[in-house]
């Protein structure tokens, strides 16, 4: 009978399976209430006294071997199931990645850059934290100039000469300091002004400002450039220029584009007139050219600046400017089909 037990021990050691059902059947066969081990324990009573010790040792060895084998195979099977649950079938095709969406500000900015690039304008960048010279003084806005009241500014508390830029005109100053005419550049970027937040205005927004400096540049060149731009972006060249004042341009004008009154958003954005102010423009003041090291007797130029946010509201019929900065995925997902 001891030889039978040794045969079972060998069988237990050689047993292997990856199926939970087969492992459970093996456990019941050896360790169940009616299993082989119980049969050997029952037969222990009929074993001669001189063989009981060796018989008992063999049965215990079989029990230990069966329990250890069941435990090791169970751990292996459960570990494999965890791996499969975590990674799945590694041979099947991968899950498609969810498509993101460009922000409407980026869509409009890229479109404007592309339009002006066709007529030779490059892109220039500058810091958002600016100094007084580049943001104000070089642009014909010296200390205590009354026009500075138009710019409610975020100054850096530790240094009153450092501020968050109020317009990207500061980039144009830096560009003119580093480059000689002919200059043809646009400067997109985020700007900051201490304004009340509402559906139509925010304390930070985005601008694109353009600059063209060369010999014999005229106001007619400016008007033709703006007419081309509005035709490409809005599909209409119906614009009007209203006299205005900017310290860094002379003469200066506000540019309105006729959008119409087809929707409720059109009424809100244009205040019921159908005309929407999209930018300011003018001929670069000679003092600004002089401050940047350019001879105003030899060169002239024009400049313009527009708010990207307002144009994005108009083009995409967005009723509230605050939606552009709230990062609501329900809003952003609407632009997945755009590029």
Helices marked H in 239-323: 264-270, 286-291, 308-315
Residue 86 has pLDDT above 60, yes or no: no
What does the DSSP 8-state code read for residue 142? -
Q: What is the pLDDT of residue 284?
A: 96
Tell me the backbone φ, ψ of residue 331, rounded to 5 degrees. -75, -45
**Three-state DSSP class for 329?**
helix
State pLDDT tens for residues 89-122: 667 777 777 777 888 999 999 999 999 999 999 9
**Mean predicted confidence (pLDDT) in 225-231:** 94
Q: Which CATH class is domain 104-335?
A: alpha beta
Among 42-46, 140-144, 290-294, where is mean pLDDT lowest? Answer: 42-46
Residue 22: predicted pLDDT: 85
What does the block give as tokens for 266? Answer: 């059109």
3-state secondary structure of 196: coil
Give the Å distances, CA to CA, from 334 to 235, 265, 284, 338.
23, 17, 40, 9
Q: What per-residue confidence (pLDDT) applies to 150?
A: 62
Look at residue 251 in the predicted model and tell me its pLDDT: 94
Tell me the C-alpha distance between 301 and 248, whole Å.
Answer: 11
What whole-number percentage of the chain has pLDDT above 90?
40
Between 297 and 147, residue with greater pLDDT: 297
Mean pLDDT of the chain: 85
Do 189 and 164 contact (CB within 8 A), yes or no? no
pLDDT > 70? residue 84: no
Contact yes or no for 240/281 (Cβ under 8 A): no
pTM above 0.85, yes or no: no
Higher model confidence: residue 215 or residue 71? 215
pLDDT, residue 37, reads 77
What values do phi and psi take at 54, rounded to 5? -65, -35
Close Cβ partners of 203 (under 8 Å, ≥ 6 residues apart): 192, 193, 194, 195, 197
Please give the distance of CA 282 from its chain centroid, rounded to a whole number: 35
Count CB-CB contacts under 10 A for residue 56. 14
Closest Cα partner for 125 from 168, 182, 64, 178? 168
pLDDT at 191 over 80: yes
Domain ranges of the chain: 2-87, 104-335
């Amino acid at each position: 009978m001891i030889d039978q037990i040794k045969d079972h021990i060998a069988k237990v050691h050689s047993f292997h399976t990856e199926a939970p059902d087969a492992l459970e059947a093996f456990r019941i066969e050896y360790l169940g209430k009616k299993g082989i081990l119980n049969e050997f324990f029952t037969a222990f009573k009929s074993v001669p006294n001189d063989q009981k010790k060796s018989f008992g040792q063999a049965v215990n060895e079989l029990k230990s071997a069966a329990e250890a084998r069941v435990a090791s195979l169970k751990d292996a099977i459960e570990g494999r199931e965890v791996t499969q649950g975590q990674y799945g079938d590694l041979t099947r095709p991968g899950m498609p990645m969810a498509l993101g969406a460009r922000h409407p500000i980026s869509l409009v900015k890229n479109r404007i850059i592309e339009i002006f690039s066709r007529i030779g304008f490059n892109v220039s960048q500058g810091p958002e934290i600016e100094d007084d010279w580049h943001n104000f003084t070089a642009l014909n806005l010296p200390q205590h100039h009354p026009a500075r009241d138009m710019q409610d500014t975020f100054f850096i508390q530790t240094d009153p000469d450092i501020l968050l830029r109020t317009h990207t005109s500061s980039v144009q100053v830096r560009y003119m300091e580093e480059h000689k005419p002919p200059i043809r550049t646009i400067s997109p970027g985020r700007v900051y002004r201490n304004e009340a937040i509402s559906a139509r205005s925010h304390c930070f927004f985005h601008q694109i400002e353009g600059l063209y400096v060369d010999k014999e540049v005229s106001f007619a060149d400016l008007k033709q450039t703006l007419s081309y731009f509005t035709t490409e972006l809005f599909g209409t060249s119906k614009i009007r220029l209203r006299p205005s004042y900017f310290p860094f341009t002379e003469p200066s004008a506000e540019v309105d584009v006729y959008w119409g009154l087809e929707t409720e958003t059109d009424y809100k954005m244009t205040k019921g007139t159908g005309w929407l102010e999209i930018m300011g423009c003018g001929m670069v003041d000679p003092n600004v050219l002089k401050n940047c090291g350019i001879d105003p007797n030899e060169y002239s130029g024009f400049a313009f600046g527009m708010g990207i946010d307002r144009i994005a509201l108009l083009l995409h019929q967005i009723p509230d400017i605050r939606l552009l900065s709230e990062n609501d995925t329900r809003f952003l997902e609407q632009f997945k089909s755009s590029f």
